[in-house]
């Protein structure tokens, strides 16, 4: 019975992925992608990866979906003819100009098919057992937290996580680099709808509270900095929608401080203990729990700030005048 659900879920995921790439309308594509993200989140839950599920739903489906939706306003909604070509090979057969494309496409399909077969074989042949569960279980008490995923993220593999926080900041810098938009420019007033505003104002504390809850619970259960950061970032995004651009209120230095706080504090803390004679990111076991909570809180703030800023920047992209390279 339960395996049936998994099979259905797997088929659904594959179907949604296919459809979101083959859909003829861009909006369909994006909505199907949304659905794909949620299906994937369900799959994570089925696989017992609740942390991943929250992250997936929040960032990959939620945040990215919002970005895509926002992009939809930008790109023309018309059917893209080429896309239809792709869906029906017969169509392209009848067209003269597409004939030259047929061969490469055929080659692509064949190549991918072959690749898929080998991949399936390779995945199938994976031997049993051999993960790091046992190692993690033994060392968990020394990590300062009770939830193994958090222990891995913020203690055992803290270096990766630190770099990852850097990547988010980097994503923001990269988005700046694209548009050359000044960081906290006053946004164009969003829809000043009283209802929306009220709803957003209602949700703000709820989201904040929920984020804080996730942050705290990360110590002992699914949750943590990333999930909390995304939720807090959602506050910023929602406020932006409601015409309340929080980030234009903070001064530049403060904005930067918020953005870099997580990354820098994480590193400085690491350096501090390194100077004390240990390795980078090596916390004394007694204080590890507390330190991790602080690091997580600051990281969540930085992530929230970065996500808000990324969204705000992308959101403003359309309103720019064309041909304005905006390098000031």
Partner 1 sequence: MMIKEVIAIILLVVGCFFFLAGTIGVLRFPDLFSRLHALTKADNLGLGFIAAGMAVYIASPLAALKIFFIWLFTLLASSTSCYLIARFQKEQEQSKNRKEQG
Partner 2 sequence: MTELPISPYPALLVGLPILMATLSLFFRTRGEALVGLIGALLTTGLAIMAFVEVVQRGAVIHILGGWEPPLGILLRMDPLAAVFIGMTALVGVFISLYAWRYFRALETTTGGLPLFWPLWLFLWAGLNGLFLSNDLFNLFVTIEVIGICAVALAVLSGKSTALSAGLRYLLAAITGSMAYLFGVALIYGSTGTLDLGLLGQVLEPGTTTTFALLVITLGLMIKMAGFPFHFWLPPAHSSALAPVSALLSALVVKGAFYILLRLWMEVFGVSLTYAAGQFIGIAGAIAVIWGSWQAFMQTSLKLIVAHSSVAQLGYLLMVFPLLILAPGVTADSADWLSSAWTAGIYQVISHAFAKASFFLSAGIIIMALGHDRIESLRDLVGHMRITAMAIGIAGVSLIGLPPSGGFMAKWMLLKGIFLSGQWWWAPVVLAGSLLTAGYVFMLLRLAFAPAREKEPFRPVPKSLEVFALLLALGSFLIVFPADSLIQFLESSEVFGTGVESILKGGVHGNN
Partner 3 sequence: MEIYQIYSLTSAILFVIGLGGVFAARHFIKKIIATIIMGGGVFLCFVSFAQRDALTFADPVPHALVITGIVVAVASAAFALALARRIYQLTGEESFTNDK
Instruction: Kindly tell me the sign of the dihedral angle through the C-alpha atoms of 18, 21, 24, 27.
Output: positive
Residue 190 or residue 202: which is nearer to partner 3 going by CB?
190
Residue 94 or residue 100: which is nearer to partner 2 going by CB?
100
Does 124 bind partner 3 (CB under 8 A)? Our answer is: yes
264 binds, among partner 1, partner 3, partner 2, none (CB under 5 to 8 A by kind): partner 2
Does 142 bind partner 3 (CB under 8 A)? Our answer is: no
Largest CA-CA distance found in the chain, in angstroms, rounded:
73
Q: Of the candidates 31, 42, 55, 207, which one interacts with partner 3 according to CB under 8 A?
A: 55
Q: Which residues contact 225 (CB under 8 A, 6 or more apart)?
A: 153, 154, 215, 218, 262, 295, 296, 297, 299, 300, 303
Kindly list the residues in this chain that would bind partner 2 in the complex (CB under 8 A).
Answer: 118-119, 121-123, 125-127, 129-132, 135-136, 139, 152, 155-160, 163-164, 166-167, 169-171, 173-174, 176-178, 180, 253, 256-257, 259-260, 263-264, 267-268, 270-271, 274, 278-283, 325-328
Closest approach of Cβ 109 to partner 2, in Å? Answer: 17
282 binds, among partner 2, partner 3, partner 1, none (CB under 5 to 8 A by kind): partner 2
Does 254 bind partner 3 (CB under 8 A)? Our answer is: no
Between the alpha carbon of residue 73 and those of residues 79, 295, 303, 315, 318, the distances in Å are: 14, 37, 26, 10, 8
Q: Of the candidates 195, 275, 276, 286, which one interacts with partner 1 according to CB under 8 A?
A: 195
CB 308 within 8 A of CB 236: yes
Neighbours of 103 (CB within 10 A): 9
Residue 93 or residue 167: which is nearer to partner 3 going by CB?
167
Report the candidate in 299, 185, 170, 179 with the shortest Cα–Cα distance to residue 233: 299
Site for partner 3 in 70-89 (CB under 8 A): 71, 74-76, 80, 82-83, 86
Q: Of the candidates 46, 185, 197, 256, which one interacts with partner 3 according to CB under 8 A?
A: 46
Does 74 bind partner 1 (CB under 8 A)? Our answer is: no
68 binds, among partner 2, partner 1, partner 3, none (CB under 5 to 8 A by kind): partner 3
282 phi and psi angles, rounded to 5 deg: -95, 110
Neighbours of 260 (CB within 10 A): 18
Q: Of the candidates 88, 91, 133, 182, which one interacts with partner 3 according to CB under 8 A?
A: 133
Helix axes 252-275, 285-317, angle to 10 degrees: 150
Q: Of the candidates 140, 183, 199, 250, which one interacts with partner 1 according to CB under 8 A?
A: 199
Binding segment for partner 1 among 30-38, 143-151, 192-200, 292-300 (CB under 8 A)?
192-200
Does 6 bind partner 3 (CB under 8 A)? Our answer is: yes
Q: Return d(Cα 44, Cα 36) in angstroms, integer.
A: 12
Q: What three-state secondary structure class fits 97?
A: coil
Which helix (H) or strand (E) segment holds residue 280: the answer is none
Does 50 bind partner 1 (CB under 8 A)? Our answer is: no
Does 92 bind partner 3 (CB under 8 A)? Our answer is: no
Q: Return d(Cα 183, Cα 253) in angstroms, integer.
A: 11
């Amino acid at each position: 019975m339960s395996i049936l659900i998994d099979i259905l879920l797997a088929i659904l995921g594959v179907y949604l992925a296919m459809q979101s790439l083959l859909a003829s309308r861009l909006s369909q594509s994006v909505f199907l992608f949304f659905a794909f993200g949620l299906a994937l989140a369900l799959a994570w839950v089925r696989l017992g990866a609740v942390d991943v599920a929250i992250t997936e739903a929040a960032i990959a489906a939620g945040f990215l979906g919002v970005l895509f939706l926002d992009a939809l306003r930008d790109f023309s909604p018309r059917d893209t003819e080429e896309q239809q070509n792709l869906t029906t090979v017969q169509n392209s057969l009848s067209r003269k100009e597409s004939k030259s494309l047929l061969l490469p496409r055929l080659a692509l399909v064949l190549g991918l098919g072959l690749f898929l077969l080998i991949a399936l074989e390779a995945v199938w042949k994976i031997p049993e057992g051999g993960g790091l569960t046992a190692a993690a279980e033994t060392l968990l008490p020394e990590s300062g937290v009770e939830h193994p995923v958090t222990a891995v993220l913020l203690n055992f593999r803290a270096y990766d996580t630190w770099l990852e926080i850097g990547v988010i900041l980097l994503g923001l810098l990269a988005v700046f680099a694209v548009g050359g938009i000044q960081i906290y420019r006053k946004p164009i007033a969003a829809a000043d709808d009283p209802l929306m505003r009220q709803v957003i104002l209602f949700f703000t504390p709820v989201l904040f509270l929920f984020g804080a809850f996730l942050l705290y619970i990360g110590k002992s259960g699914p949750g943590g900095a990333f999930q909390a950061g995304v939720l807090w970032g959602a506050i910023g995004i929602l406020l932006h929608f409601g015409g309340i651009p929080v980030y234009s209120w903070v001064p530049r230095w403060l904005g930067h401080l918020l953005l870099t706080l997580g990354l820098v504090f994480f590193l400085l803390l690491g350096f501090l203990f390194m100077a004390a004679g240990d390795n980078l990111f090596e916390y004394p076991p007694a204080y590890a729990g507390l330190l991790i909570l602080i690091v997580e809180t600051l990281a969540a703030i930085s992530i929230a700030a970065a996500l808000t800023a990324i969204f705000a920047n992308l959101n403003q992209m359309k309103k720019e005048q064309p041909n304005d390279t905006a390098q000031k």
